[in-house]
Chains A and B, each alone.
Chain A
Amino acid sequence: MTTFPIEQIRADFPILSEKIRNKPLVYLDNAASCQKPQAVIDSIVQVYSHEYANIHRGVHTLSVKATDRFEAAREKIRGFINAASHKEIIFVRGATEAINLIAQSYGKSKFQAGDEILISAMEHHANIVPWQMLCQQMGAVLKVAPMNLQGELLFDEFEKLLSAKTKLVAIAHMSNALGTINPVEKIIAAAHARQIPVMLDGAQALPHMQVDVQALDCDFYVFSGHKLYGPSGVGVLYGKQALLESMPPYQGGGDMIRKVTFAETEYAGLPHKFEAGTPAIAEVIGLGAAVDYLNRIGLDAVAAYEAELLAYATEQALQIKGLRIIGQAAEKGAILSFTLDRIHPHDIGTMLDSLGVAVRAGHHCAMPVMDFFEVPATARASFAMYNTRQEIDVLMAGIQSIIEVFG
């Protein structure tokens, strides 16, 4: 852990010096949203102070400048996930909108009644509900690959569910409620062997590991900016160019057209075809700054540091009597979801908050996961690259005290 520049990183995030209820903030709700480094905050101030206008339209200087910054951010993000072309990077509001786009554009135009979409038992509602909506519209069928009690995908069962009817596999790269990292290489190989495309929900995975969409050979990869130390309100749909070309637009409006008459409209080419209306200009530029920041630190170093944090937190948690870890996959990201005997997660959340510790308490937008583990909710501490062992000590001491006061 000594080589990781943790002190420098912490100093880059102004919010980490805040006091919450007169205690130093211990922010462990990173799977819900990450805090922002000064570089991201500065980039947004810079846009609005010096470089802001609408993009792709004006001939005036500011519009050209804003367009350059916006498209430069697209190029940074292309490089970050190693997409083959900037045309494959579509800006949307977040991972949720990206999945809805795939369902309503790709799914609606290519699936037929009886076709199947295969997801897993550990999905976020964002990777369940858009498919259920599509199934209702088309008569398609949603299939769910099961997991075991450690929270690991049962790969053999997954493979058995792949059939001639399967038209898309849509699966979390990393589970938000459990931390499980799915064997995406095997999943993609098994699906591609049957000519089935694969969408990965990378909202949780991308902040914690280097992702190369070409090496993975996934067909779609979606993620949100706000979980990647960037602004909220922006996310990315990556899709292979040929697939995106074959899909109809998702929304109509300005910026996505080449020529409009009242009789017909000729659509713009990629990526603009899927970017109707004025996008989140400053947020996209801010996301570009977040990617620059992460590149400077290096995601491999982040992954190694976070793995040590998780190992330490897990070891400490297992020593607490009455604490049950929900999600104990062998391959796991920096998420510690847990319950305490006879103490509801909401009480845990409120009590930890009084100590300055921010955790999530609830179903984590994954109610089927809660049902599977037969818990109404869990408390979840999720770590980021700016968290420390000392913060985990504060968390564990807090949990011990809660157990004492509940008696």
Chain B
Amino acid sequence: MFDDLRDLYQEVIFDHNRNPRNFRVMADANRQVEGFNPLCGDRLTLYLKIDEHVISDASFQGSGCAISTASVSLMTEIIKGKTEAEADALFHQFHQITTGKSEDIQLEAIGKLAVLAGVREYPARVKCATLAWHTLDAALKNEAKSISTE
């Protein structure tokens, strides 16, 4: 029935929405930032543990739509073990892919995050996918306690 939406709602997204990874409070986190999308009410808290510029652990809590939940769940998986610089580079790649502003989009560069590339056809939903990453950006810069997509 939802054939038109296959690019947006891939099975991986349903899977992460049903069973979000790293969905827990992290007691010993050294970075903690709230992300909020006032338009849809998506709300998340991102926890990071950064040792010597390496993200040794990442987790989150919160509630949101399937796109935003899958996005943050996938993000916590993929950034674990990455350096801050690598995670920052991923943020910029992800942003380009989801907003479709780059002419030469290279989906292979972002691995399984590519399942979220479909949002660029749905302008109303781009913020759902990027909320997690803007929250990560704030956490990496260590400059905000909460960020908003508005």
State the A residues within 8 Å of B (CB): 21, 343-347, 350-351, 354-355, 361-363, 370, 376-377, 398, 401, 405-407
The chain B residue sitting closest to A400, CB to CB, is: B1
Are A401 and B1 in contact, with the CB atoms below 8 A?
A: yes
Are B128 and A346 in contact, with the CB atoms below 8 A?
A: yes
Give Cα A405 to B9, complex, Å: 10
Are A347 and B2 in contact, with the CB atoms below 8 A?
A: no
As a 0/1 sequence over residues 34 to 49 of chain B, the CB contacts with chain A under 8 angstroms (1 = contact) are: 0000111111000000
Are A350 and B122 in contact, with the CB atoms below 8 A?
A: yes
Residues of B within 8 A of A345 (CB): 40, 65
Give Cα A398 to B128, complex, Å: 22
Contact of A370 among B4, B41, B67, B68 (CB under 8 A): B41
Residues of B within 8 A of A406 (CB): 14, 17, 66
Contact of A405 among B14, B68, B125, B128 (CB under 8 A): B14
Contact of A354 among B4, B38, B65 (CB under 8 A): B4
* Chain B: number of interface residues, binned into ranges: 20 to 34
Give Cα A247 to B134, complex, Å: 48
Q: Is B63 located at the chain interface by the 8 A CB criterion? A: yes
Give Cα A407 to B18, complex, Å: 9
Given A345-B65, A347-B9, 5 other A-B residues pairs in contact with their CB atoms under 8 A:
A344-B64, A362-B39, A401-B1, A406-B14, A406-B66
Residues of B within 8 A of A350 (CB): 5, 8, 122, 124-125
The chain A residue sitting closest to B40, CB to CB, is: A346
Q: List 19 A-B contacts (CB under 8 A).
A: A343-B66, A344-B42, A344-B65, A345-B65, A346-B128, A347-B66, A347-B67, A350-B125, A362-B40, A370-B41, A376-B42, A376-B43, A376-B64, A377-B41, A401-B2, A405-B1, A405-B2, A406-B66, A407-B18
Q: Which B37-94 residues have C-beta < 8 A from chain A? A: 38-43, 63-69
Are B41 and A21 in contact, with the CB atoms below 8 A?
A: no
The chain B residue sitting closest to A21, CB to CB, is: B4
A378 to chain B, nearest CB (A): 10
Contact of B5 among A351, A361, A377 (CB under 8 A): A351
The chain B residue sitting closest to A405, CB to CB, is: B2
Give Cα A84 to B34, complex, Å: 54
Contact of B2 among A354, A377, A407 (CB under 8 A): A354
The chain B residue sitting closest to A351, CB to CB, is: B2
Are A346 and B125 in contact, with the CB atoms below 8 A?
A: yes
Q: Which B7-48 residues have C-beta < 8 A from chain A? A: 8-9, 14, 17-18, 38-43
Residues of A within 8 A of B4 (CB): 21, 354
The chain A residue sitting closest to B8, CB to CB, is: A350
Residues of A within 8 A of B1 (CB): 355, 398, 401, 405
Residues of A within 8 A of B14 (CB): 405-407
Give Cα A363 to B43, complex, Å: 13
A38 to chain B, nearest CB (A): 29
Give Cα A343 to B66, complex, Å: 8
Give Cα A340 to B38, complex, Å: 20
Are A346 and B2 in contact, with the CB atoms below 8 A?
A: no
B70 to chain A, nearest CB (A): 11
Are A344 and B66 in contact, with the CB atoms below 8 A?
A: yes
Residues of A within 8 A of B63 (CB): 344, 376
Residues of B within 8 A of A344 (CB): 40, 42, 63-66, 68-69
A29 to chain B, nearest CB (A): 13
Residues of A within 8 A of B40 (CB): 344-346, 361-362, 376-377
Residues of A within 8 A of B39 (CB): 362
Give Cα A344 to B37, complex, Å: 13
Are B5 and A354 in contact, with the CB atoms below 8 A?
A: yes
B53 to chain A, nearest CB (A): 35
Residues of A within 8 A of B38 (CB): 363
Give Cα A405 to B63, complex, Å: 20
Residues of B within 8 A of A362 (CB): 39-41
Question: Which of A350, A354, A377 has the most C-beta atoms of chain B within 10 angstroms of its own C-beta?
Answer: A350
B145 to chain A, nearest CB (A): 20
Give Cα A234 to B92, complex, Å: 43
Are A346 and B65 in contact, with the CB atoms below 8 A?
A: yes
Give Cα A347 to B63, complex, Å: 13
Residues of A within 8 A of B67 (CB): 346-347
